[in-house]
A and B are shown apart, each in its own frame.
Chain A
Amino acid sequence: MTRPLSSTVATYLARRARWTPLEIAFWLLAAATIYLLPGRHLILTEIAILGLFALSLDLILGYAGIISLGHAAFFGFGAYCAGLLAKHEIITEPVVALIVSGLAATVLGFVTSFLVLRGSDLTRLMVTLGVALVLREIANKYSELTGGADGLQGITMAPVLGRFRFDLFGHTAYIYSLVVLFVLFVIARRIVNSPFGLSLRAVKGNPLRASAVGIAVNWRLVAIYTIAAGYAGIAGALLTQTTAFTSLDVLAFERSADTLLVLIIGGTGYLYGGLIGAVIFKLMQDWIANLTPQYWQFWIGLVLVLIVLVGRERVAGWMAPIRALIGRIGRRARRADALGASPGQGG
């Protein structure tokens, strides 16, 4: 009856960390698109990259409650790193370059994370926005390095792992992006289901109480902000590598705002929100852009306004039946597990 708390927590965490059948189905479906939708690999690559970027924003917004209006800073930093590494042939192998770019963004994230520790929501908004603007201004002014407003041109990408060449139809790019997304997703999943992830939720819920029970609030925030920055950097680097081009667009405010919308559409705080949101957002963008190529921003704005007026909770509520289904399937699987496991323990 009186089990030690640590074992209760461990059981709880283990239960949370278990993969549900629906999750497995999700990733199988994602893998199946490689064969099922070979003609749509270009847009699927964009979706994967946007999903990864939104996932990184989810880490700080959904799990730490930091509202950022300048997350594109890290995305763009990673994008330019990857571009410069490839252009000047410093590191030609894409995977290594990807990791290096991610690490560079991580360092930037660590340095700037101390700026978001202080102040209210508004101060954080301003500081994150300011960091992104400063980077954009630097990229704009040092045009001899970054190409300025024309973008960084003349990037030639070496084959991935020295074997898989980037092709015109984006097959390699898609598989590459999807694998990177999956690996990083698994790591993120591991992070948020760890005791560290649990303590982050406590910090998000109530920083004062969290620090009262002995959680080092600031260091938790620094850590997750740094990790998220690295994720964003890798997403940006992926964009550069798969398109062999990067421009000031990667640092634009609109990118940060769009990603916020992606995350809000999909829902925050359960990691899949960014991925589902990215699918919906890209399909919506594709559809609207076909109708009115110039003014699709209007409809994006309208969606944002409507989501807020209707209420995010209610929008998330529309997903409730699906979530309930996930839960039910998950529970059944667990019960089957428990039934299967208990005789073994008894014997």
Chain B
Amino acid sequence: MGLNNKAADGYDRDSTIGCPPRSFRKAVRPALKGIILTILFDGIAYGMLLFVLACGLSVTLGLMNFVNLAHGAFAMAGGYITVVLVNRMGVPFLLGLPLAFVVTAAIGALFERTLYVHVYGKSHLDQVLFTIGLVFMAVAAVDYVMGSSQQFVQIPQWLQGQIDVFGVGVGKYRLLIIIVCGLLTVALQLILTKTRFGSRLRAAVDDQRVARGLGVNVNAVFGLTFAFGSGLAGLGGALGAEILGLDPIFPLKYMIYFLIVVTVGGTSSITGPFLASILLGLGDVAGKYYMPKLGAFVIYTIMIVVLIWRPQGLFARPVGR
């Protein structure tokens, strides 16, 4: 019965010629497993990168209820800073990364103190307009200074190529991303839960007014967090230039991804955005591999469904605000 059906849909007709022999099929299976593991690995690397890129946004959004669509501009800044440092000035790549963090954090602090402070109290529409304006300016300015073509960071020889881990080909560079981002995540979690600053930050996120009443300098906490988050975005941009591609429209291209991480993950902790990033990374890589025709469609649809289903985010605890 089943065989007949197969013949009917034209699948079995080729079996005498097209169907691979049994021995070959066996050989294919581990390779297929390898592909799945590679997708898993790439997806996790991608997701962790997204987390480092977006976690600053999640904190600013949760803390000040501030919609910062220009977050990607800081990531782009980090990427271009690394390009200039490493490619043109010959700074070693591993030194370029922390420098990208420091410089972008400084830019973030500067912008926060001079421009963003004026917009906190305004409506969401104003915040959206303001940050879109910043994005447009950043895009055009980078285009003017660096040109519109895609830029590549020169990665040292020892980071190129693959190594075998349990029979799975693993890109060395992606491994570096996972290690760096994993360490950062642990560090962030420790800062947030174990330090005095972390408890101030959590208090301010939970209830700003009460935190102020208890003597927490919320503005200072926010300024620091904003700078730190921008720095992380810059570091993510530097690390991700290789994978995500670095060109002037970077902030627009990845804006939606950052927003997905934040809205799906919720803004009340960093575990939510972390899980959301990993899911997004896996979903995007797997989606593009298995369903290239649909592409990013899957991600957007999932986002809409999640937002309709749980507007507070998938991993958010309900906050009475």
Q: A186 CB to closest chain B CB, in angstroms?
A: 28
Indicate if the CB atoms of B311 and A307 lie closer than 8 Å.
no
Chain B 110-165 residues near chain A, CB threshold 8 A:
115, 118-119, 122, 124-130, 132-141, 143-144
Segment from A39-47, A125-133, A208-216, A330-338 that makes contact with B: A125-133
Task: Give the complex CA separation of A229 and B175 in angstroms.
Answer: 47
Q: Given A260-B129, A304-B129, A307-B129, verify A115-B304 contact (CB < 8 Å).
A: yes
Is B26 among interface residues, defined by CB-CB distance under 8 A?
A: no
Residues on the B chain within 8 Å of A133, using CB: 256, 296, 300
Is B301 among interface residues, defined by CB-CB distance under 8 A?
A: yes
Is A121 among interface residues, defined by CB-CB distance under 8 A?
A: yes
Chain A 279-333 residues near chain B, CB threshold 8 A:
294-298, 300-305, 307-309, 312
Indicate if the CB atoms of A123 and B67 lie closer than 8 Å.
no
Segment from A134-142, A152-160, A176-184 that makes contact with B: A134-142
Indicate if the CB atoms of B126 and A308 lie closer than 8 Å.
yes
Is A24 among interface residues, defined by CB-CB distance under 8 A?
A: no
Indicate if the CB atoms of B143 and A137 lie closer than 8 Å.
no
Is B275 among interface residues, defined by CB-CB distance under 8 A?
A: no
Residues on the A chain within 8 Å of B308, using CB: 115, 118, 127
Task: Give the complex CA separation of A121 and B307 in angstroms.
Answer: 12
Q: Given A126-B259, A141-B294, A304-B132, verify A253-B252 contact (CB < 8 Å).
A: yes
Task: Give the complex CA separation of A69 and B307 in angstroms.
Answer: 16
Is B100 among interface residues, defined by CB-CB distance under 8 A?
A: no
Is A248 among interface residues, defined by CB-CB distance under 8 A?
A: no
Is B106 among interface residues, defined by CB-CB distance under 8 A?
A: no
Is B263 among interface residues, defined by CB-CB distance under 8 A?
A: yes
Residues on the A chain within 8 Å of B119, using CB: 308-309
Q: Given A134-B300, A295-B140, A301-B132, verify A309-B307 contact (CB < 8 Å).
A: no
Chain A interface residues (CB < 8 Å from chain B): 61, 67, 69, 115, 118-123, 125-127, 129-131, 133-134, 137-138, 140-141, 253-254, 257, 260-261, 264, 294-298, 300-305, 307-309, 312
Chain B interface residues (CB < 8 Å from chain A): 61, 67, 115, 118-119, 122, 124-130, 132-141, 143-144, 252, 256, 259-260, 263, 293-297, 300-301, 303-304, 307-308, 311
